[in-house]
């Protein structure tokens, strides 16, 4: 799922390509992509895009008459820009919607059969605010508000960072990177952190997100981001199971659960202790290795 750094780069590209431009035509190719009925979708046809902003992982287009178009990319949704007569270069069945402007077309695609990505219209700031889960902005809040959000619930750090009601825009990928940078276990409970550990997590959150915004910005240059993914070769642990940790060289570990997985370095984050995998540790029982050296 595109997270805060990815959405920031999308917004910067949209600023360059569509803000100040008239939406000449909107085509809905999926019957399920539109999740609202009022205001009607034709309310934005022929209107000028006044601005764009972010609400968590959602992208918001601002139109006149206090009307907003909200795009939620979910896991497999992506935005792609094509100049006139430039081919999209992918199967048309992946297109959920297209937005035609005088100088090009913005395509909203989803490479998944589950069709979770969505469009939604809202009228007025209050209606728009109702779509905000309410998490604090991790790059904007001071340490004390970060701590307040962190300890609001006694969650594991992995769950706390990815809870949109606590923190805005952080998901599975960057939470792994943040916790590795902070040298903290993903399973450590948020209310058990010392003041020094809270400060470490706060600094690592800001540094990691800013680092990736800069990296993705350099990759996009002045164009439109095409390869938006949760997996990058430069990442320390996310998606790098069994590969060497860039800090200590020990193999990266993982915990698989539901549709996600948590990646971590046992040497750097858990004092060498392997965290129990819900399926494998139950299967292996006494044969489950207790430390990274037991592997």
Mean pLDDT of 187-193: 97
What pLDDT sits at residue 280?
Answer: 43
- Which tens digits make up the pLDDT trace of 251-270? 999 998 767 889 999 999 99
Residue 44 scores a pLDDT above 50: yes
**Cβ(116)–Cβ(172) under 8 Å?**
no
The pTM of this model reads 0.92
52 — pLDDT class (breaks 50, 70, 90): very high
Mean pLDDT of 190-203: 98
Residue 283 scores a pLDDT above 60: no
| Nearest Cα to Cα of residue 18 among 62, 43, 49, 44 | 49
187 — pLDDT class (breaks 50, 70, 90): very high
CA distance 219 to 230: 15
Domains and CATH numbers, the chain: 4-129 (3.20.190.10), 143-294 (1.10.8.50)
Mean pLDDT of 43-58: 96
288 — pLDDT class (breaks 50, 70, 90): very low
What pLDDT sits at residue 38?
Answer: 92
Residue 144 scores a pLDDT above 60: yes
Looking at the DSSP assignment, which residues form a beta bridge with residue 22? 48
85 vs 170: which has the higher pLDDT: 170
For 22-26, 45-49, 213-217, 274-278, which range has the lowest pLDDT when averaged over its residues?
Answer: 274-278
Mean pLDDT of 1-16: 96
pLDDT > 90: what percent of the chain? 84
Residue 277 scores a pLDDT above 80: no
Residue 20 scores a pLDDT above 90: yes
What pLDDT sits at residue 13?
Answer: 97
Q: CA separation (Å) from 170 to 37, 167, 241, 278? A: 29, 7, 21, 24
Spell out the SS3 assignment of 146-179: HHHHHCCCCCEHHHHHHCCCCECCCCHHHHHHHH
282 — pLDDT class (breaks 50, 70, 90): very low
For the chain, the average pLDDT equals 92
Mean pLDDT of 44-69: 96
What pLDDT sits at residue 292?
Answer: 53
What pLDDT sits at residue 260?
Answer: 80
Cα 49–chain centre separation: 24
Mean pLDDT of 20-43: 93
> What DSSP line would sit under the chain, residue for residue?
---HHHHHHHHHHHHHHTTT-B--EEEE--TTSB---SS-GGGGTT-B--EEEEETTEEEEE-STTEEEEEE-TTTEEEEEE-TT----S-GGGEEEEEEETTEEEEEEE--SS---EEEEEESHHHHHTT----B-TTTS-HHHHHHHHTSS--BHHHHHH-TTTBSS--HHHHHHHHHHHT--TTSBGGG--HHHHHHHHHHHHHHHHHHHHHHHHHHTTS------S--TT-SSTT-TTSBPTTT-PBPEEEEETTEEEEE-HHHHSTTBPPPPTTHHHHHGGGS-SBGGG-
């Amino acid at each position: 799922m595109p997270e805060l750094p990815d959405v920031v780069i999308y917004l910067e590209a949209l600023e360059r390509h569509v803000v100040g431009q008239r939406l000449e035509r909107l085509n809905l190719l999926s019957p399920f992509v539109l999740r609202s009925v009022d205001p009607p979708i034709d309310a934005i046809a022929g209107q000028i895009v006044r601005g764009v902003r972010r609400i968590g992982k959602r992208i918001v287009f601002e139109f006149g008459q206090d009307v907003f178009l909200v795009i939620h990319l979910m896991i497999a949704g992506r935005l792609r820009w094509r100049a006139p007569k430039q081919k999209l270069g992918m199967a048309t069945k992946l297109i959920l919607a297209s937005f035609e402007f005088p100088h090009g077309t913005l395509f909203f695609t989803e490479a998944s059969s589950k069709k979770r990505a969505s469009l939604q219209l809202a009228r007025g700031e209050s209606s728009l605010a109702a779509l905000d889960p309410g998490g604090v902005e991790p790059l904007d809040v001071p340490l004390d508000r970060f701590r307040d959000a962190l300890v609001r619930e006694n969650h594991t750090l992995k769950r706390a960072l990815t809870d949109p009601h606590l923190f805005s825009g952080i998901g599975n990928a960057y939470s792994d990177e943040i916790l590795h940078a902070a040298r903290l276990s993903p399973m450590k409970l948020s209310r058990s952190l010392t003041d020094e550990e809270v400060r470490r997590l706060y600094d690592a959150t800001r540094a990691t997100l800013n680092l990736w915004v800069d990296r993705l910005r350099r990759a996009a240059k002045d164009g439109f981001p095409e390869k938006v993914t949760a997996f990058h070769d430069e990442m320390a642990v996310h998606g790098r199971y069994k590969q060497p940790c860039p800090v200590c060289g020990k193999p990266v570990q993982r915990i698989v659960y539901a549709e996600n997985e948590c990646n971590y370095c046992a040497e750097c984050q858990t004092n060498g202790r392997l965290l129990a995998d819900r399926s494998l540790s139950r299967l292996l029982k006494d044969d489950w290795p207790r430390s990274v050296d037991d592997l």
